[in-house]
Amino acid sequence: MSTLRKFSSQAEPEVLDELQQLAAREGRQLQAVLGDAMREYLARKRQQAPRRNVLEAFQNSLRERDELYRSLAK
């Protein structure tokens, strides 16, 4: 099992209540539910974030072919 690092945060009462209820229903600790939620959030963000080289290629394309893109858009 990995080592855990303690941290402190705040949440809206309704969100925290629902997380605690979910943990209780599943027979799990709140920290386990929070850990799962954080891992899922990070995985989703990684999938959404365009890679830097893709953005740079896109910007270069816009600069180099601006006139072509404008004429095609008409």
Nearest to 35 by CA among 73, 3, 69: 3
**Predicted TM-score (pTM) above 0.75:** no
Cβ pair 20, 30 in contact under 8 A: yes
Residue 7 has a pLDDT of 94
42: confidence class by pLDDT, cuts 50, 70, 90: very high
Q: What is the pLDDT of residues 10-30, one digit of tens each?
A: 999 999 999 999 999 999 999
Domain boundaries, the chain: 13-73
